[in-house]
Structure 1
Amino acid sequence: MYLYHYGIKELPFTLTPNTNYFFGLPSHKEAIAVLLTALKTGEGFIKVTGEVGTGKTLICRKLLNELPQDFVTAYIPNPYLSPVELRRAVASELNVSLTDHSDQQEFTQRIQQRLIHIHQQNKGVVLIIDEAQALPMESIEALRLMTNLETESRKLLQVVLFGQPELDEKLALPELRQLKQRITFSYTLRMMDVDQVYQYVRHRMSVAGYQGAEIFNRQCCQKLFKASNGTPRIVNVLCHKSLMLAFGEGKQVVEPRHVTLAIRDTEAAELPASHTRLAVLFSCLVVAVLLAAYVHYQGWTL
C-alpha cells in the first residue's frame, strides 16, 4: 500500500520471520553462539526459551541456515503430535521409510540404522523443534527415548527445543525430570531496550530499501518501546500501522501522534492507564484514516 510513497521495495514490518531482516540483537547473537557451540560439542538436549514475539522462530531459521554442512537437520515446526506422529515426522525428515503399522521397536531399529549411517559419514544429526511447549507429555517421553541412541563417544541425535516460558514449567514436572537433567545448555531470550528498538526500526527500513531522512525519530521509538516492552513482534505491528497512518495523511515521516494512534488500536500494546477510556474512540479514528489511505491508494474519489 505505501511502498511507492516511502520509496521501499517491500513491507519492512511483516510478522513472517525473514532471515534477511535478522538484526543481530545481542540476545539473538548470544543464543546462536550458544547453540552452535553446544551442537559442535555433541550435547544431547539444548533449550532456547523466550516470550511470545521475541524472535524464537527467526533464530530457529537462522540456525538452520548457518549450521555447517557436517550436520543433517530435521525440523518440526508444529509439534502438537502424538508419540506415533512425532516418530513418523522425525522419520520423514531423515528420509527413513516406515510401514503403515510400524511400532516403536521398528522405528527405533530403522532410525538407528539411519543415524549410524550418517555418523559413518562423519556427520551429526540435529532435530530442531519449534514451539516445543506444545509437545504432549507422552511425546516428550518418546523424544527422550530417541536420544538414547548413541555411540561410545557421542549422541547419534541432538535435539534443540525452542519454546515459550511454558516449556520450562512443563519440564519442571516430576515426571519429566529425566529429560530436564539431559538439557546441558539453555538460553533465555531478552527483550529489546529503547536504543535497540531505535536501531531495530532503522535496520528494517534500510533492508526494505529506504534511503531517505529518518522516518521514526527517537521520540517515536520511545513510545514504541514503552508500548511493546521491547517485544519485536509488537514493534513490527505498531510500525506498520504508524506508516499507514502517516501515508494516509500524505506525510513523509511518522510523527509521535501516529505511533500513539497505532498503540491505541493494538490490543497487544500497553496503553497508559489514563488513556484506556479513549481507546475505542481512537480505534474508530484509526479505521477512518486507514480507509482514507486505502481510497487514496486506489485512486478512488468519495
Structure 2
Amino acid sequence: MYLGHFGLREAPFSITPDTDFFFAHEGAQASLNTLLVALRSGEGFIKVVGELGCGKTVLCRQLLRLLQDECVTAYIPNPDMGPDDLIMALLHELSIEVPTPATRHAIQEALRAALVQHASQGRRVVVCIDEAQAIPLRSIESLRLLSNLETEKRKLIQLVLLGQPDLDTKLERPEIRQLLQRITFSEYLGPMAAQRVPAYLAHRLRCAALDDSTEVEVFDRAAAQLLARYSGGTPRLINVLAHKCLMLAYGEASHRVQARHVHLAARDTPAVAPLPPWWRRWWPRSASRRGRARGVDDSFGAGMS
C-alpha cells in the first residue's frame, strides 16, 4: 500500500463517510448551516436532497456530531421498512424500552412519554433519516403523525429527511401531500465547484497525514483539473479516482500525481464518463502552454499507451 510512500497514517480517499474528513465546500456548508438554523429554531420537518455520491451521509453525520451535546439524536440509515418497524427502529435508536405487550398503541405511548420527558428537561430530539427516498408510502404517513407530537410551545420531535432526487418525486404524490406541506426548510446538495477540487484533495491528504511534514500538494494542477472534469465534482468519484492515482504514482515510485495518472484511473473506472471531444481538442494546447511555462511536458495522454 502507498501510505508510507506518501507519509500517510490512513487512506485519504476512502469512500466510507467519515466526519474527520468533512470538507465544507460551499454547497455542503450552506446545507449544514440551514440544517443547524432550522433545527435550533424548532422546525419540525427539514429535507435535504442530493445527487448520488455528493456527500449526504457524511453531511448527516457531521450534523449529528455538532448536535450531540445539545440534543438527543437518532440516525436511521435504512428506512425501507413498514410503519411498525420504523417506529420500533426509532425506539431502539432513542434507547426507549419496548413495552410488553408490544401493541401499536403501547409503543406509540412509550415513544410519546419519552419525548415529553426529554422536552420537560429542555432536550430537543432530532431524528435523521438517510436514504429517505426508500421510505415506503405507507410509512411516510407514520412520519407525518410523529410530527403531530408537540406541546403548546414546541415540537417534541424534529425530523431531517436526506435522500436522492427520487425523494422529491415521491413527496409530490397526492396521497402524501400533507407531509410535503409540513416541510419548512429544503436544501439541495450538489457536486462541488471545479475550482474547489484542489483544496479538497489537499484537505483529505492533510487529514490523513502522519505529521505536519507530509506533502499535501501531491496532485499537480493539471491532474486536479482533470479530476474535477472526470468526476463532475462528485466527491465519491473524486475519491475513487484519487485513490487509483496514488496507487499509480506509487507504482512508479513517484511522489507526484500527473495528468496521465488521472487518465489511466478514469479509464479503469466504469462510472466515469469519457471526456467530450471539445475537451480533448482543447487540452493539448492548454497543457502544452502550461508545460512550456514550467519547463515540463504534461500534455494530454503523455506517457500513455
TM-score normalised by structure 1 residue count: 0.88
The verdict on how the C-alpha distance between 1:238 and 1:44 changes in structure 2, with shifts beyond 3 A counting, is same
State the 1:163 CA deviation. 0.6
Cα distance in 2 for residues equivalent to 1:58 and 1:21: 9
Q: In the alignment, what sits opposite 1:130?
A: 130
| Equivalent pair of 2:202/2:216 in contact (CA under 8 Å) | no
Q: In the alignment, what sits opposite 2:229?
A: 226
Segments of 4+ in structure 1 off by > 3 A? none
State the 1:246 CA deviation. 1.1
How many pairs does the alignment contain? 276
Q: In the alignment, what sits opposite 2:189?
A: 189
Letter in 1 for 2:257: V
Give the SS at the match of 2:175: helix
Cα distance in 2 for residues equivalent to 1:165 and 1:44: 21
State the 1:103 CA deviation. 3.0
Give the SS at the match of 2:195: helix
| Equivalent pair of 2:128/2:160 in contact (CA under 8 Å) | yes
Letter in 2 for 1:166: D
Q: In the alignment, what sits opposite 2:166?
A: 166
Q: In the alignment, what sits opposite 1:10?
A: 10
Give per-residue Cα distances to partners, 1:62-107, cap 9 Å, x unaligned: 0111016331111111111111110101111122222465233222
Q: In the alignment, what sits opposite 2:290?
A: none
Cα distance in 2 for residues equivalent to 1:121 and 1:273: 59
Q: In the alignment, what sits opposite 2:258?
A: 255
State the 1:59 CA deviation. 0.7
Letter in 2 for 1:165: P
Q: In the alignment, what sits opposite 1:43?
A: 43
Cα distance in 2 for residues equivalent to 1:169 and 1:14: 31
Cα distance in 2 for residues equivalent to 1:70 and 1:194: 35
TM-score normalised by structure 2 residue count: 0.87
Q: In the alignment, what sits opposite 1:298?
A: none
The verdict on how the C-alpha distance between 1:13 and 1:68 changes in structure 2, with shifts beyond 3 A counting, is closer
The verdict on how the C-alpha distance between 1:134 and 1:101 changes in structure 2, with shifts beyond 3 A counting, is farther
Give the SS at the match of 2:203: helix
Letter in 2 for 1:28: A
Cα distance in 1 for residues equivalent to 2:130 and 2:216: 38
Deviates more, 1:77-86 or 1:63-72: 63-72
Cα distance in 1 for residues equivalent to 2:276 and 2:39: 46
The verdict on how the C-alpha distance between 1:175 and 1:260 changes in structure 2, with shifts beyond 3 A counting, is same
Identity of aligned residues (%): 48
State the 1:214 CA deviation. 2.6
Letter in 1 for 2:214: Q
Gap regions ≥5 residues in structure 1: 275-302
State the 1:237 CA deviation. 0.2
Cα distance in 1 for residues equivalent to 2:240 and 2:78: 24
Cα distance in 2 for residues equivalent to 1:203 and 1:8: 13
Give the SS at the match of 1:60: helix
| Equivalent pair of 1:53/1:233 in contact (CA under 8 Å) | yes
Q: In the alignment, what sits opposite 1:271?
A: 274
Q: In the alignment, what sits opposite 1:120?
A: 120
Q: How does 1:1-302 map to 2 (within 5 A)?
A: 1-67=1-67, 69-99=69-99, 102-209=102-209, 211-212=214-215, 214-272=217-275
What's the RMSD between the two structures over aligned residues? 1.7
Cα distance in 1 for residues equivalent to 2:53 and 2:116: 37
Cα distance in 2 for residues equivalent to 1:108 and 1:147: 13
| Equivalent pair of 2:50/2:56 in contact (CA under 8 Å) | yes
